Amino acid sequence: MINKYHSKHYILWFSCIILACLFVSCQKQNQDNSQVVYRLKWLLNSGAAGSLFAHANGYFNAQGLNVSIRAGGVERNAITEIEMGRAQFGVATGDQIIRALEKGSPICVLAQLFQKSPMCWMYYKNRNNIQSLNDLKGKTIGITFGNEDETIMRSILKKAGIHVNEVKFYSVRYDYTPFYTGKVDLWPVYRNSNGIVIQEKLASANEKIAFFSPHDNGIHFVGNSIITSQKIVAQKPDLICKFRNAILKGWTAALDSKNLVQSVEIIHSFDEATDPKLIEKQVISSRTLMKASDNLPLGTINTSDWKQTERFLLDQKILATPVISTGKNIFFKGICNE
């Protein structure tokens, strides 16, 4: 009887150990593969339409992912978050990524969200007539010193053969008064976000503005792109494909005209301060910038645009050495089956 008792006791004890190990293993696997932090470049608004749509419609969950979408900002930089292991995925602009790569950052580009950069300059139609690059000569141009718009504008002037002394740079702040009063001729905005808000505001006062697009004038500067770490690409290819498939599916659906009403509702639930009618126009504008061609899959990485962006940074001594042509694993080249 004692032997039988002890045998049953040992079997039960051994079974408990196995179950505990399996539980811990499953928990660790779930933590490693399912818990994902996605750090945005900015706020949870129309600029995050694709990720918010994917989250609301269960695209991440369908891939077995529990994704936390977190707002970005100056103090919440996606590249830094990924480097420190606090985020697995994030959003950054092409120039941010290239500069980080030069410094040795182990990041990898999964997808290029914008085929046309939303960065542009607005101007009053009745005060200025900007038909060519040469028309910028003699203008007062707003720029954010140290930001991407400064790099872009200096590249524009170089292409046009306009010396910086032939224009006047005005340091931009969050106050648009210098533009409204005519002190500044051209003011930098994002065509699909604050540009629309200001355009509608001035339209209500019977003022018409137009937008000067660097992209339409041959300056192809890479905008927002989705990034991760090269370590995750190498060690967790399944996680990469699951996330990439889900978020690109979210962006595709969010930009689809038949889902416009739902997209606006989802975005407005996070961005209550913005009128739904403005959000609708922002989504439509984003569609034209992200889906430049029906034949080009959303998220396509345009290497020629990356090389041009790098050349602008090299020309202006922002970058000391090239990184795009180094042959390193800068761009994700895997094949993700849906």
Q: In 3D, which of 267, 279, 130, 138 has the Cα closest to residue 210?
A: 130
Beta strands in 183-236 (DSSP E): 187-190, 209-212, 224-229
Dmax over CA atoms of the chain, in Å, equals 103
Q: Is the pLDDT of residue 19 over 50?
A: no
Considering the domain architecture, whether residues 41 and 12 belong to the same structural domain is answered as no
Whether the per-residue pLDDT at 30 is higher than 80: the answer is no
Contact call for residues 101 and 323 (beta carbons, < 8 A): yes
Residues 24 and 110 placed together within one structural domain of the fold: no
Mean pLDDT value of segment 16-35: 47
> Residue 254: pLDDT band by 50, 70, 90 thresholds?
very high
Task: Give the confidence band of 327 by pLDDT, cuts at 50, 70, 90.
Answer: low
With respect to residue 338, please indicate whether it lies within any of the assigned structural domains.
Answer: no
Establish if 244 belongs to a structural domain.
yes
Q: What is the CATH number of the domain that holds 86?
A: 3.40.190.10
Please state, rounded to an integer, the average pLDDT across all residues of the chain: 91
Q: What angle do helix axes 237-255 and 260-270 make, rounded to 10 degrees?
A: 110
User: In sequence order, what are the beta bridge partners of 122?
Assistant: 187, 211
What gap in Å lies between CA 210 and CA 201, rounded to an integer? 13
Residue 265 is assigned to a structural domain of this protein:
yes
The DSSP output letter for 227 is E
User: Which one-letter DSSP state was computed for residue 335?
Assistant: -
Total structural domains in the chain?
A: 3
Spatial strand order in the sheet of 35-39:
66-70, 35-39, 89-93, 224-229, 107-112
Q: Are strands 140-143 and 168-171 parallel, antiparallel or unpaired?
A: parallel
Structure tokens at 134: 């040469």
**315 and 184, same domain (yes or no):** no
Query: Is 23 a residue whose pLDDT tops 50?
Result: no
Q: Considering only CA atoms, which of 299, 259, 285 is closest in space to residue 89?
A: 299
* 56 shares its domain with 142: no
Q: Is the pLDDT of residue 226 over 60?
A: yes
pLDDT for 96 beyond 50: yes
Q: Is the pLDDT of residue 32 over 80?
A: no
218 or 18, which is more confident: 218
Same domain, 104 and 125: no
Q: How many Cβ atoms are within 10 Å of 210's Cβ, its own excluded?
A: 15
> Residue 292 pLDDT > 50, yes or no?
yes
CB 127 within 8 A of CB 182: yes
**What torsion do the CA atoms of 310, 166, 137, 145 make, to the nearest 10 degrees?**
40
In this predicted structure, the answer to whether residue 130 has a pLDDT above a threshold of 90 is yes
Residues 243 and 233 placed together within one structural domain of the fold: yes
Token pair of 93 as six digits: 């602009």
Q: Per-residue pLDDT for 11 more than 60?
A: no
Query: Does residue 305 belong to any structural domain of this protein?
Result: yes
**Residue 150 near residue 143, CB atoms below 8 Å:** yes
Are 91 and 187 within one domain?
Answer: no
pLDDT tens, position by position, 138-179: 999 999 999 999 999 999 999 999 999 999 999 998 899 999
Say whether 235 sits in a helix, a strand or coil. Answer: helix
333 in any annotated domain = no
The residue segments making up the domain with residue 129 are 119-217
**What are the DSSP calls for 141-159, one per residue?**
EEE-TTSHHHHHHHHHHHH
- Are the CB atoms for 226 and 110 separated by under 8 Å? yes
Report the phi/psi class of residue 94: left, alpha or beta, with left for phi > 0 and alpha for psi in -120 to 50: alpha
In this prediction, residue 294 carries a pLDDT of 79
For residues 111 and 144, membership in a common domain is answered with: no
Report pLDDT for 201: 95
Judgement on whether residues 126 and 107 belong to the same structural domain of the protein:
no
- What is the predicted pLDDT for the residue at 200? 96
Token pair 């790099």 in the structure block, residue: 151
Tokens of 13: 């004890």
**227 and 315 together in one domain:** yes
Q: What is the pLDDT of residue 110?
A: 97
Q: Are residues 107 and 227 in the same domain?
A: yes
Q: Which of 217, 241, 264 is the last residue of a domain?
A: 217
Flag whether 332 is in a domain.
no
CB atoms within 10 A of CB 175: 8
- Average pLDDT on 77-103 reads 97
End-of-domain residue from the set 192, 217, 242 = 217
pLDDT at 10 over 80: no
Angstrom distance (rounded) from CA 291 to CA 299: 9
Separation CA 207–CA 288 (nearest Å): 24
Domain annotation covers residue 254: yes
Residue 84, domain member (yes or no): yes
Render pLDDT for 49-82 as a digit per residue (tens, 0 to 9): 999 999 999 999 999 999 999 999 888 999 999 9
What does 21-86 look like in DSSP terms, one character per residue?
HHHHHHHHHHHHHTEEEEE-SS-SSGGGHHHHHHHHTTHHHHTT-EEEEE--BTTB-HHHHHHTTS
108 and 184 co-located in one domain = no
